[in-house]
Amino acid sequence: MTTILVTGGAGYIGSHAAVELLESGYEIVVIDNLSNSSMESIKRIKEIAGKNFPFYECDLLDVECVENVFNTHKIDSVMHFAGLKAVGESVTIPLKYYQNNITGTINLCEVMIKHNIKKLVFSSSATVYGNPDKVPVEESFSLSATNPYGRTKLMIEYILQDLYFADSSWRIALLRYFNPIGAHESGKIGENPNGIPNNLMPYISQVAIGKMEKLFVFGNDYETHDGTGVRDFIHVVDLVKGHLKALEYLENHEGVEAFNLGTGKGYSVLDLVKTFEDVTSKRIPYKIVERRKGDIGVCYANPQKAEKKLGWRAEKDLNDMCKDTWNWQLNNPNGYRN
Ligand SMILES: NC(=O)c1ccc[n+]([C@@H]2O[C@H](COP(=O)([O-])OP(=O)(O)OC[C@H]3O[C@@H](n4cnc5c(N)ncnc54)[C@H](O)[C@@H]3O)[C@@H](O)[C@H]2O)c1
């Protein structure tokens, strides 16, 4: 039986990955410091999959705790989701982001080396493309970052590449996510932001449920069909399926390789609002405000490399993403705090 360590497995994407792994017959061990998540999501993962697994409330900055997990379980590979992810916050408290994301990853890799575990799937982000010159974005494009959060992702990518240069038995997939939204179709797990949501989709669904009065749309003067920003929204369940494909790929491939995980289609903010309104029959009042500093106009993936090499492509459309988000929101108006 193959056992996967899932760091950050109580979080939004990690919890969906945990379900997918369990349903695909893997054993899992989950660690999370619950800084941006709760035990309730661990309970829900077990409910959906109908399986149990060990969970450790463990911080990657606490090496002893991480060591203990590796000493207790025979881990084969690691899916590394744990990290802080709020762009705005990273500008205000950069050192916390560098310490948590970078030191946390270094600690994890050191313990992996000690236990001779060299297979790692890492949550990177399309943010490592900075402000791309053209779309669709390909893995070979130049890399840069526009904020501390993005720089942590970029630095970790370089660190992992250096690891492989130093020891070619490492097998590492750098998965560059575009814009994950949606929720598990059971409505039991989903994105559970603390306070005012940073991301568009949770904001829209909180307006729909009456927790927020209206949506603020940042800029309608971009060079797009309706002037609002265009992004590559991808259903979180499609996204995590890409992780399982990457894991299979690493079984037969040494090296460190980056893959875009996106649909290859760009939709604007207002396209998403309109689809959400159609799917839910709820009206989403919105107000156009100034562009947000650092935002880019258009960004969507060329996902062909993942399709060719991993045999993966996103299947779900914008309707599914809106329907499943709404189902999660309706069932959990206060997130996991019900
Ligand atoms: N959601 C997105 O839009 C998006 C896009 C691109 C990349 N990513 C990356 O994907 C990963 C997962 O994102 P998510 O949306 O599920 O975020 P999330 O905040 O819901 O999940 C991250 C989890 O990691 C945990 N964590 C943070 N620091 C930790 C530490 N030091 N030790 C142990 N646990 C720790 C948090 O408690 C949380 O449960 C992150 O690395 C994020 O940067 C997310």
Residue 332 pLDDT: 96
Q: Whose CA is nearest to atom 10 of ligand 1?
A: 123
Q: How far apart (Å, rounded) are the C-alpha atoms in residues 275 and 286?
A: 14
Whole-number percent of the chain with pLDDT over 90: 97
Residue 127 pLDDT: 97
pLDDT above 90 (res 27): yes
149 is catalytic: yes
Pick from 140, 138, 130: nearest CA to 303: 138
Q: Whose CA is nearest to atom 26 of ligand 1?
A: 82
Q: Confirm or reject: Cβ of 122 under 6 Å from ligand 1.
A: no
Residue 1 pLDDT: 85
pLDDT digits (tens, 9 = 90+) for 52-96: 999 999 999 999 999 999 999 999 999 999 999 999 999 999 999
Catalytic-role residue among 149, 222, 300, 336 = 149
Q: Whose CA is nearest to atom 34 of ligand 1?
A: 32
pLDDT digits (tens, 9 = 90+) for 167-223: 999 999 999 999 999 999 999 999 998 888 989 999 999 999 999 999 999 999 999
338 pLDDT band (50/70/90 cuts)? low
Amino acid type, 137:
V
Q: What's the 283 CA to ligand 1 centre distance in angstroms?
A: 31
| Reduced 3-state DSSP string for the chain | CCEEEEECCCCHHHHHHHHHHHHCCCEEEEEECCCCCCHHHHHHHHHHHCCCCCEEECCCCCHHHHHHHHHHCCCCEEEECCCCCCHHHHHHCHHHHHHHHHHHHHHHHHHHHHCCCCEEEEEEEHHHECCCCCCCECCCCCCECCCHHHHHHHHHHHHHHHHHHHCCCCEEEEEEECEEECCCCCCCCCCCCCCCCCCHHHHHHHHHCCCCCCEEEECCCCCCCCCCCEECEEEHHHHHHHHHHHHHHHHHCCEEEEEEECCCCCEEHHHHHHHHHHHHCCCCCEEEECCCCCCCCEECECCHHHHHHHCCCCCCCHHHHHHHHHHHHHHCCCHHHC
pLDDT above 80 (res 258): yes
pLDDT digits (tens, 9 = 90+) for 263-322: 999 999 999 999 999 999 999 999 999 999 888 999 999 999 999 999 999 999 999 999
Q: How far apart (Å, rounded) are the C-alpha atoms in residues 289 and 9?
A: 35
Residue 50 pLDDT: 98
Q: How far apart (Å, rounded) are the C-alpha atoms in residues 312 and 310?
A: 5
Q: Whose CA is nearest to atom 21 of ligand 1?
A: 11
Q: Confirm or reject: Cβ of 82 under 6 Å from ligand 1.
A: yes
Q: Confirm or reject: Cβ of 104 under 6 Å from ligand 1.
A: yes
| Ligand 1 atom closest to residue 58's alpha carbon, by position in its atom list | 33
227 pLDDT band (50/70/90 cuts)? very high
pLDDT digits (tens, 9 = 90+) for 100-157: 999 999 999 999 999 999 999 999 999 999 999 999 999 999 999 999 999 999 999 9
Residue 133 pLDDT: 92
pTM assigned to the model = 0.98
